[in-house]
């Protein structure tokens, strides 16, 4: 359906867990989070009701996210049941890739059409530092497994972090020469102030263009919220997602549902509408209200003031 500004809302980001097997410094506190009881979180049945309600309102694409979706024991069953909802044409997932090696094949057979894998560095020590303990080789094996399992829509998401990976922009972009995989650079967003962002950590996507200017980069166009470019001879595109330096609110097509059952009309607004415990009709009414409550734009983000989201990213889903 259209929101009050005429934007067609056809994309749902469904976070299925707050929990994660990594602790990325820009996303979640080192101590993890207070685990909520089962009855505070959406059950699989409620997730499927919510997706059915969304589909009846015109949602066609669902992205499963988290926390880390692959730590969820019933992930394959969730994928199958979401994909079988009438009206859902595309099922995507965003994952840190740590568990992907042994799961890629089954995910493909459970109806997942496309994977985004988060990868901010190609240096094993830096990876371990930023994720507080993760193993880079697990992610690289996961990427190989995704490609050999027949996923032909795989993207890598790299969050730009000044002083951490701005010296690796060319190497990360170079993955598009080696693999048929888009690499998208994402500006760091100042989510919860408890994460204590360093002001120097923010760098704009323009830095990517600057760093790649001598590598034969040509403009391709827009792909959703991403400005796309291509290196000559590459197998895939480079994308720039610039929530701070270039707002894309006017073309926003999405709503979010958190693992504890809150519909978020906007990533950077504190407004949340609960669907936990509602039946199908109740959920549909709330989701419709949330779509109509989408703001024209969120406030200008800056590192002087955190987002109004009121949650760390692992509790929203990105
Ligand atoms: N665990 C999965 C993963 O890392 O891909 C899915 C959930 S994670 C919250 C979704 C995306 O949000 C990841 O690509 C992650 O890099 C990104 N993200 C987390 N915190 C962010 C921040 N402060 N600014 C920009 N992107 C962020
Ligand atoms: Fe976990 Fe993803 Fe957040 Fe990293 S970005 S801590 S992998 S939820």
What pLDDT does 192 receive? 85
| Residue 184 Cα to ligand 1 middle (Å) | 12
Q: Tell me the DSSP string of the chain.
A: -B-TT--B--EEEEE--S--S---TTTS-TT--PPPPGGGS--HHHHHHHHHHHHHTT--EEEEESS-GGG-TTHHHHHHHHHTSTT--EEEEEE-STTTTTTHHHHHHTT--EEEEE---S-HHHHHHHHTS--HHHHHHHHHHHHHTT---EEEEEEE-TTTTGGGHHHHHTHHHHSS-EEEEEE-----GGG---GGG---THHHHHHHGGG-EEEEEEETTEEEEEETT-SS-EEEE-TTTS--GGG--EEEE-TTSEEESSTT----EE-TT--HHHHHHHHHHHHHT--S-PPPPBTTB--TT-S-GGGTT-
Helix 44-56 and helix 280-292, axial crossing angle in degrees, nearest 10 = 60
| Residue 164 Cα to ligand 1 middle (Å) | 16
HSE toward the beta carbon, residue 175, CA cutoff 13 A: 24
What pLDDT does 306 receive? 84
Q: Which of 203, 68, 229 is nearest to 139 (CA)?
A: 68
| Residue 69 Cα to ligand 2 middle (Å) | 10
What pLDDT does 34 receive? 76
Rounded CA-CA distance 316/178 in Å is 32
Ligand 2 neighbours (beta carbon < 6 A): 20, 22-24, 27-28, 66-68, 96, 118, 313-314
| Residue 61 Cα to ligand 1 middle (Å) | 19
| Residue 16 Cα to ligand 2 middle (Å) | 13
Ligand 1 neighbours (beta carbon < 6 A): 20, 26-27, 65-66, 68, 94-96, 118, 157, 159, 186, 188-189, 191, 313-314, 317-318
Q: Point out which residues pair with 274 in neighbouring strands.
A: 262
Instruction: Indicate which atom in ligand 1 lies nearest the CA of residue 189.
Output: 24
Taking phi over 0 as left and psi of -120 to 50 as alpha, with beta for the rest, 233 belongs to left
- Residue nearest atom 14 of ligand 1, based on CA coordinates: 118
- Ligand at minimal distance from the CA of 117 is 1
**Which residues in the chain show pLDDT less than 70?**
none
- Residue nearest atom 10 of ligand 1, based on CA coordinates: 318
| Residue 161 Cα to ligand 1 middle (Å) | 12
| Residue 27 Cα to ligand 1 middle (Å) | 6
- Ligand at minimal distance from the CA of 132 is 2
Tell me how many degrees the CA angle 183-157-126 measures, rounded to the nearest 5: 105
């Amino acid at each position: 359906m259209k929101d009050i500004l005429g934007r067609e809302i056809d994309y749902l980001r469904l976070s299925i867990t707050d929990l994660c097997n990594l602790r990325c410094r820009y996303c979640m506190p080192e101590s993890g989070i207070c685990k909520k009881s089962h009855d505070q979180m959406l059950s699989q049945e409620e997730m499927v009701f919510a997706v059915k309600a969304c589909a009846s309102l015109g949602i066609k694409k669902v992205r499963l996210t988290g926390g880390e979706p692959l730590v969820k024991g019933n992930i394959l069953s969730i994928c199958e049941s979401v994909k079988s909802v009438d009206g859902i044409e595309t099922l995507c997932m965003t994952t840190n890739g740590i568990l992907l090696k042994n799961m890629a094949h089954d995910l493909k057979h459970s109806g997942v059409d496309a994977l985004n894998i988060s990868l901010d560095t190609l240096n094993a020590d830096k990876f371990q530092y930023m994720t507080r303990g993760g193993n880079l080789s697990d992610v690289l094996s996961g990427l190989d497994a995704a490609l050999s399992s027949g996923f032909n829509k795989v993207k890598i998401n790299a969050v730009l972090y000044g002083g951490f990976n701005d010296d690796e922009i060319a190497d990360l972009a170079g993955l598009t020469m080696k693999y048929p995989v888009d690499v998208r650079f994402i500006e760091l967003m100042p989510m919860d102030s408890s994460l204590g962002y360093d002001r120097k950590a923010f760098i704009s996507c323009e830095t990517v263009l600057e760093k790649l200017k001598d590598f034969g980069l040509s403009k391709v166009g827009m792909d959703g919220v991403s400005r796309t470019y291509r290196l000559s001879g590459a197998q895939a595109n480079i994308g720039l997602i610039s929530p701070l330096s270039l707002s894309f609110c006017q073309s926003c097509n999405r709503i979010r549902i958190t693992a504890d059952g809150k519909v978020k009309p906007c990533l950077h607004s504190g407004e949340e509408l609960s669907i936990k415990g509602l039946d199908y009709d109740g959920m549909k009414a709330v989701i419709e209200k949330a779509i109509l409550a989408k703001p024209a734009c969120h406030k200008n983000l800056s590192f002087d003031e955190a987002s109004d989201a009121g949650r760390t990213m692992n509790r929203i889903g990105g």
